[in-house]
Amino acid sequence: MSYIYTTEDYHGKVDTDYRRYPFLVERAKLLGSKFNAIKNRLIVIAGCGFGYTVDELSSLGFTNVWGFDASKYAVEEASVRELSTDTASRIILADATRKDDMDNIVSELGRPYLVLDEDLLSCADTVEEAKLMLDNLRSMLHQRGQVVHVLTMRAGTVPHLPKGTEQMSGFLWLPPEEWREIIGPDGKIYVAGPMTEVE
């Protein structure tokens, strides 16, 4: 079963104190520049946590950005974080391993032109579960839509977290070439932190 964050994960187990890190702001700016052509189309952030990327893209003029996360704590926390009320109302509880959850999002919102996997696939328990999530995310898309992946890659430490933060067990930490094989040749993959694109 995929790793679903709890209160403790956001405050001490996986992260020291999850907040609006500068790299999240820079990530949104980079993505905003790359996908500016669809800024008025539906965009869904998969694995959005407290909704910071939803909020940042909205502040850049994106008009229809929503997010979902399987963590009940994260969705509830979005309503008390420094997000606009409008952003907080666009954070949904849903699990990417459940196709009916993805179908419900489509039923409520329509088909997105962009689904951004925000380090979601690395929460899978196995490669097979990552593929299931990927299939479910793809099933949501508009016919001209795409899934874009931001993934923390396998390394001794997590590059964008405080120095010395070790990668925990229980996650699917894979190198870029293995993610490319799972996702296929057409999906855009960015390395979380530096946001370099994987060929």
User: Which residues pair with residue 117 across a beta bridge?
Assistant: 46, 149
Residue 196 belongs to some domain of the structure: no
Residue 125 belongs to some domain of the structure: no
Residue 158 has pLDDT above 60, yes or no: no
Residue 157 has pLDDT above 70, yes or no: no
- Tell me the CATH number at 84: 3.40.50
Residue 141 belongs to some domain of the structure: yes
Q: pLDDT tens digit string along 125-143? A: 899 999 999 999 999 999 9
Query: 122 and 46 in contact (C-beta within 8 Å)?
Result: no
pLDDT bucket at 164, cuts 50 / 70 / 90 = very low
What is the pLDDT averaged over residues 157-171? 51
Kindly report whether the global pTM for this prediction surpasses the value 0.85.
yes
Nearest to 49 by CA among 85, 110, 3: 3
Total domains in the fold of the chain:
1
What is the pLDDT averaged over residues 141-146? 97
Q: Which domain holds residue 102?
A: 7-112+130-150+158-191
Reported in sequence order, the residue ranges of the chain that DSSP labels E, i.e. its strands, are 43-46, 65-69, 91-93, 114-118, 146-151, 188-191
Name which of 3-7, 118-122, 181-185 the model is least confident about: 3-7
Nearest to 96 by CA among 47, 167, 56: 47
Residue 121 belongs to some domain of the structure: no
Residue 64 belongs to some domain of the structure: yes
Residue 124 belongs to some domain of the structure: no
Residue 119 belongs to some domain of the structure: no
Residue 17 has pLDDT above 90, yes or no: no
Please tell me the predicted confidence (pLDDT) of residue 85: 72
Instruction: Tell me which of 116 and 3 has the higher pLDDT.
Output: 116
Residue 123 has pLDDT above 50, yes or no: yes
Q: What is the 3-state secondary structure (H, E, C) of 154-166?
A: CCCECCCCCCCCE
The mean predicted confidence, pLDDT, of the chain is: 88
Q: Would you call 98 exposed, middle or buried from its count of C-beta atoms within 10 A (0-12, 13-18, 19+)? A: middle
d(CA 10, CA 6): 7
Nearest to 121 by CA among 76, 79, 178: 178
Please tell me the predicted confidence (pLDDT) of residue 31: 94
What is the share, in percent, of the chain residues with pLDDT greater than 90?
62
Residue type, 176: P
What is the pLDDT averaged over residues 186-194? 89
pLDDT bucket at 153, cuts 50 / 70 / 90 = confident
Please tell me the predicted confidence (pLDDT) of residue 152: 83
Are β-strands 91-93 and 188-191 bridged in parallel, bridged antiparallel, or unpaired? unpaired
